[in-house]
Amino acid sequence: MSNSRLMSFILLLMCMPIAASAATADEDTTQLKEVVVESRIRGNYLNSRAVDKREMISVTGLRKMACCTLAESFENSASVSVDYSDAVSGTRQIKMLGLAGVYTQFLDESRPFMRGLSSPFALNYTPGDWLKSIQVSKGVASVTAGHEAITGQINLDYRKPTDDERLHINLYLDDMLRPEVNLSTAFPLNKDKTLSTIIMAHGSIDTDWREMSAMDRNKDGFRDMPSTRQIDVANRWFWLLPSGVQLRWGGKFTAERRIGGHLHFNGDFSDYEPAKQSYFDHHKTPAEWSQIVYPSHYGSKVTNRDASAYMKIGVPLPHIITDKDGAEQQDNVALIADFSHFDTKSTFGFNQYNAHENTVSLNLRYDHHFNAANSLAAGVQGRMSFTRGHLNNFGYFFLNNGSSLLGYEHECDERLDEREIGAYAEWTATPHKNFTMIVGLRGDYNDLAKQWLVTPRAHIKWDITPRTALRASGGFGYRTPRALIENLGMLATSYTILSGYYALPLSVVYSDAENCDKAIADRDYNQLEKAWTVGGSLTQTFKLGHDDNASLSADFFHTRFTRSLIATQEPLSQSILLYSSTGLNYTSTWQLDFTWSPIERLDVLATMRYTHSRMEIPVAESRNGNYYLSDNTQKVERALASRFKGLINVSYATRFRVWVFDFTAQVNGPMRVPGGGYNTEGSYHSPTYVQLFAQVTHKIGRTEVYAGCENITDYRQKDAIIAPDAPFSSEFNSMNVWGPLMGRKFYVGMRWNLY
């Protein structure tokens, strides 16, 4: 290929949008109109039909472990890793392509969710038992769902109103005596079953019935995990009208309370206010510091409420064509409306962040098939979100060369109104039976950034041979960062939160204390993060022993930011600096996946991911004993991003899956951990560690019972909290979590279905 052709090809890829076709679950090997010998579904596998690199986690995969929440559903995936945002709240967040989960778009049956305020928590608000499958797509995703998916897209497929289970019960209990209950009931409401509904409910509670010492294995005085109680209720409807029009609507409500911190903290902050006041007196000599009163316990309490509702109307149009596989494809118009409300009250010691957010979005989409080889999806989309919050960041500093001390309280109100309207078009073309291309373009106007955003994305899939597929994708992505909520873990420290390149406390930057987020993102109001991602994969399926469909896949993805919001502890000691940066910020990820069934019903999945992630942070310079940020920067390995993850999962099922045995071994590579000093001083690499998981499942009639063990080797990070014996000192920090906080965990559970 000549250079110019190569350039054209690359340009084509880069300039065209990607369209990860709307996620359709094809998790089933059952074939219609043929004799079904045995329904056998692999747990995690690659979707061979998808144009993008798409990993499927089927219901079999979701049941390899207890998978109590969505956060725990990715243990058999190297593409996605799940970390803790801090060791006090125990909130879990995913990482994909080595970057924070906020750069991955979550879809609830193709509707974006987990945005804004709910983003750090919502992983815990989706019970795994409600899900039928998860599709993980790497790289930029379809423009039809927005411009936000930068590192990937995760689509959740739920239980359906049309399901056969009139009642499904899932009970779970672990060795901390934490019970969980999931119920779902799906039923038709009319004779011809055109109107049906499903109700799903989840309840869980940390009972604290075990002795307290069991909850603090590392004996640092802090709970290893917070005590939580949570309920989730969802109701979904489906109505098929005689005209063929489909209506889907539903709603969900979640309430959660989590209490963390000192072992005997019970959520009572009544002694905090007098303690805070005692800091405000100017203690001129160290001798006077004894006048400072400390609260009896360091505690954290997070109370969240999440309510959402949606409606989808799909109208089929008369135009029908038959595609290359012989399936009928019909034009249609769909209107999707979403509403969500999220309210959080998060208190960590003296720090507090209370906020609520309302979001409304509308998407009108038209799907047209020109012929068997060409189709178009086009639409208009609008979204409004209104956030109101209040941050209270308390701390103290030393004066007069450290001889006197003064408390401070930085407060600021958050008032963030964002409105966005846009249009998109995505063209899917199959010029040759072995080549598919999806090209998309969308344009949006964001009134918060006061910018027009142009998002081109493209995906191609070339079936080089019937068993060899090459995929490539590329495109741009944008998102509005929410500096406070996305870095909520910084409140679980005693560090000072500084804003902007001048590293001033929030209240100083904006003396009117009006808008935290605008303060954080510098004064140019240019808050949007911008990035591009390119990548591709090569997948080969082959016959290996008994298995006709063994597969080996290699992929590479590269994401580079042209503007990003940086939250770093590193240039300045005991401070967290938030600022909007145009500096160097990129990540490259390589991954190998191998699936094989050496004998019937024995599945092996082996996968390995390596990440190279770098960014630029400012350098602090010392002048007269004080540190100031200079104009110089240094390139560092991204903090708390693991270099590699490998795993092997072996699953054996007896005939008809009467017994299922699952075993997973993970090796988690090192992360660079901030050391608490100036300019990455004291930074170190966490050790490589192994985690093992095992579960056995047995079916008795319509009942399934399971028992398992997580973290069999009992590997724990013992120093997740820095300065645990002085939680009100300026050294206290619980953000640097690189390993498991909980040790070995045994659990039992059962699932029962009534049809």
Partner 1 sequence: MKKFLFIALMAIMSVGFMGAREKKAENVKTVVFATDIHCEGCANKIMNNVPALGKGVKDVQVNLDDKTVTVTFDVNKNSEERIVKGFKSLSVEAAPIVPEAKSECDSPCCGENDSITVKDCCKKP
Q: Which is nearer to partner 1, 29 or 296 (CB)?
A: 29
> How do strand 404-432 and strand 179-188 relate by DSSP bridges?
unpaired
Q: Which is nearer to partner 1, 162 or 404 (CB)?
A: 162
Q: Which of 399, 702, 718, 729 binds partner 1 (CB under 8 A)?
A: 702
Does the footprint of partner 1 cover residue 700 (CB under 8 A)?
yes
Phi and psi for 57 in degrees, rounded to 5? -115, 105
Sign (positive or negative) of CA dihedral 48, 54, 55, 56: negative
Q: Which is nearer to partner 1, 188 or 670 (CB)?
A: 188
Closest CA relative to residue 141, chosen from 536, 474, 538, 462: 474
- What is the smallest separation between the CB atom of 168 and partner 1, expressed in angstroms? 12
Q: Which is nearer to partner 1, 245 or 692 (CB)?
A: 692
- Sheet of strand 131-138: strand arrangement: 44-46, 54-57, 131-138, 152-158, 104-108, 111-113
Q: Count residues contacting partner 1 (CB under 8 A)?
A: 37
CB under 8 A: which stretch of 76-84, 107-115, 149-157, 658-666 binds partner 1? 658-666
Residues in the chain: 755
Nearest-angstrom CA–CA distance, 146 and 153: 11
Does the footprint of partner 1 cover residue 655 (CB under 8 A)?
yes
Q: Which is nearer to partner 1, 260 or 708 (CB)?
A: 708
Q: Which is nearer to partner 1, 104 or 711 (CB)?
A: 711
Build a one-symbol-per-residue string for 161-190: x at contacts with partner 1 by CB under 8 A, - elsewhere.
--xx-x--------x---------------
Q: Which is nearer to partner 1, 210 or 543 (CB)?
A: 210
Phi and psi for 514 in degrees, rounded to 5? -95, -40
Beta bridge partners of 365: 334, 379
Query: Residue 422: which H helix or E strand, with range?
Result: strand 404-432
Q: Which is nearer to partner 1, 1 or 327 (CB)?
A: 327
Contact 85, 133 (CB under 8 A): no
Q: Which of 431, 658, 718, 729 binds partner 1 (CB under 8 A)?
A: 658
Q: Which residues contact 155 (CB under 8 A, 6 or more apart)?
A: 23, 106, 107, 109, 110, 134, 135, 137
Q: Which of 297, 657, 672, 751 binds partner 1 (CB under 8 A)?
A: 657
Q: Which of 24, 30, 371, 622 binds partner 1 (CB under 8 A)?
A: 30
Q: Which of 8, 11, 24, 28 binds partner 1 (CB under 8 A)?
A: 28
Q: Which is nearer to partner 1, 166 or 319 (CB)?
A: 166
Q: Which of 318, 326, 625, 701 binds partner 1 (CB under 8 A)?
A: 701
CB-count burial class (<10 Å; 0-12, 13-18, 19+) for 592: middle
Task: Give, in order, the Cα–Cα distances in Å from 653 to each of 113, 660, 699, 702, 722.
Answer: 35, 4, 11, 17, 45
522 sits in the region (left: phi over 0; alpha: psi -120 to 50; else beta) called: left
Place of tokens 């099922």: 653
Which residues between 712 and 751 bind partner 1 (CB under 8 A)? Answer: 712, 714, 744, 746
CB under 8 A: which stretch of 34-42, 151-159, 476-484, 734-742 binds partner 1? 34-42
Nearest-angstrom CA–CA distance, 221 and 213: 9
Build a one-symbol-per-residue string for 660-699: x at contacts with partner 1 by CB under 8 A, - elsewhere.
-x--------------------------------x-x-xx
Q: Which is nearer to partner 1, 131 or 721 (CB)?
A: 131
Task: Give, in order, the Cα–Cα distances in Å from 16 to each of 150, 367, 629.
Answer: 15, 19, 40
| The CA-based dihedral angle spanning residues 712, 717, 721, 722, taken in that order and rounded to the nearest 10 degrees | 160
Build a one-symbol-per-residue string for 231-260: x at contacts with partner 1 by CB under 8 A, - elsewhere.
------------------------------
Q: Which is nearer to partner 1, 164 or 417 (CB)?
A: 164
Which residues between 105 and 164 bind partner 1 (CB under 8 A)? Answer: 163-164
Contact 346, 352 (CB under 8 A): yes
CB under 8 A: which stretch of 24-32, 120-128, 525-533, 635-643 binds partner 1? 24-32
Contact 424, 144 (CB under 8 A): yes
Q: Which of 1, 2, 4, 34 binds partner 1 (CB under 8 A)?
A: 34
Chain positions contacting partner 1, by CB under 8 A:
28, 30, 32-39, 163-164, 166, 175, 654-659, 661, 694, 696, 698-702, 707-709, 712, 714, 744, 746, 753, 755
